[in-house]
Amino acid sequence: MTFEMKYHITTRYLSKPSKRRSGLPMLPGVKFVVAHDTGNPNSTAAQNVAYFERSRDEMSASAHLFVDDQEIIECIPAVEDAIPEKAWHVLYKVEADNQLFGFNANDAAIGVEYCYGDRITADEAYNKFVWVIAYICYKFDLDPASKVVGHFFLDPQRKTDPVTGLAHSRRTYEQLLRDIASEYRACTGAAPSAPAEPHVYESGTVRAMVKLNIRTVAPNTRAAVHQTVPPGTRLEYCLVARNGEPINGNPVWYGDSNGHFFWSGGVVKSV
């Protein structure tokens, strides 16, 4: 399977070793992608990379790629180098990346920054952003429907990216996830996945990994919250809904005997 190279990726690597770029390899390999925005409206990809280079000995925050309407710049080796390197784009102390993917994002995820603002053509920047994330998924054999996550999803107490940046493009996070999967199919010629059976009657026990909302009536976040349970809570289910509201690309929810639903990405099967 090949991938349509719609855009060029410019390599402009930061100096190493430095606080921005340690040069350390991703030893577990690339396991997922984190979507960010710069949080700095009207700053271009080139300007952000230049700032990272000027401040290379001042702070450790970094990312692999910056994308605007003009170019895609890789400043820490990722897709255009044989050995991807670590970047410091998600705090180590957050737990959601380990819970969702089994690794810290800095150790096993490529961070992609979306540039936005009134002086940046939103559609062009968005198209490049979607394409390069789809390309990363192709390059590292990642499922584009489940291996892409927003920074805000991993660190909701501190971050809103890429939701804030996407709003300037009149897009939502959920649309981004759908568009990445669609772009992957378009660039590879892969057939769309067959629709899943809506409901499967299956029983089991799971354990909440995070603080988890139990929803009434339907498998989506628009349904009222019946109860919020803390991490570690054991939950029984009797139904698997495979066409619920996708969260981080995952549409699978569990239903209990009371007709309540909870998202499968927030739990782990009990043994």
pTM of the model: 0.77
Q: DSSP of the chain, one letter per residue? A: ------S-EEE-PPPSSSSS----B-TT---EEEEEE-SSTT--HHHHHHHHHHTTTT-----SEEE-SS-EEE-SSSSSSSS-B----S-TT--HHHHHHSS-HHHHEEEEEEP-STTS-HHHHHHHHHHHHHHHHHHTT--TTTSEEEHHHH-TTT--TTHHHHHTTT--HHHHHHHHHHHHHHHHTPPPPPPPPSEE---EEEEESS-EEEEESSSSTTSPEEEEE-TT-EEEESEEESSS--BTTB--EEE-TTSEEEEGGGEEE--
The domain ranges of the chain are: 9-188, 199-269
Model confidence pLDDT, tens digit, residues 58-74: 999 999 999 999 999 99
In this prediction, what percent of the chain has a pLDDT beyond 90? 70
Please say if the pLDDT value at position 85 is more than 70: yes
**CATH topology classification for 199-269:** SH3 type barrels. (2.30.30)
- Structurally, at CATH architecture level, domain 9-188 sits in 3-Layer(aba) Sandwich (3.40)
pLDDT at 193: 56
The residue among 111 and 196 whose pLDDT is bigger is: 111
Model confidence pLDDT, tens digit, residues 126-185: 999 999 999 999 999 999 988 999 999 899 889 999 999 999 989 998 899 989 999 999
- The overall average pLDDT reported for the chain is 92
